[in-house]
Structure 1
Amino acid sequence: MKTLLNITLALAVGLGPLVAGGLVLAQDYNPVADGQALVTMYCADCHAVGATGDSAFPPAPRFRELHLRYDVEFLSEALVEGIVTAHPDMPQFEFDPQQAAAIVAYLKSLEPQV
Structure 2
Amino acid sequence: MPSRSFAVRFGIAASAALLVAGAVSANAAEKTLIDKGEVLVRENCSRCHAIGKEGDSPHKEAPPFRTLAKNYPIEDLAESLAEGIVSGHPDMPIFVFGPHDVEAIIEYLQSIQAQ
Shared fold (TM-score, shorter chain, > 0.5): yes
Please state how far the C-alpha of 1:111 moved relative to its aligned partner.
2.0
The letter for the 2-side match of 1:43 is: C
2-structure distance, mates of 1:37, 1:45: 13
- Determine helix, strand or coil for the equivalent of 2:66: helix
Establish whether residue 49 from structure 1 lines up as the match of residue 64 from structure 2. Answer: no
Unpaired runs of at least 5, structure 1: 1-25
Q: TM-score, normalised by structure 1?
A: 0.72
Aligned residues: 88
Establish whether residue 67 from structure 1 lines up as the match of residue 69 from structure 2. Answer: yes
Structure 1 pair 112–47 and aligned structure 2 pair: CA distance change class (3 A): closer
Percent identity over the alignment?
44
1:83 alignment counterpart: 85
Unpaired runs of at least 5, structure 2: 1-24
The letter for the 1-side match of 2:81 is: L
Q: TM-score, normalised by structure 2?
A: 0.72
2:19 alignment counterpart: none
What is the RMSD computed on CA atoms of the aligned residues?
A: 1.6
Establish whether residue 94 from structure 1 lines up as the match of residue 103 from structure 2. Answer: no
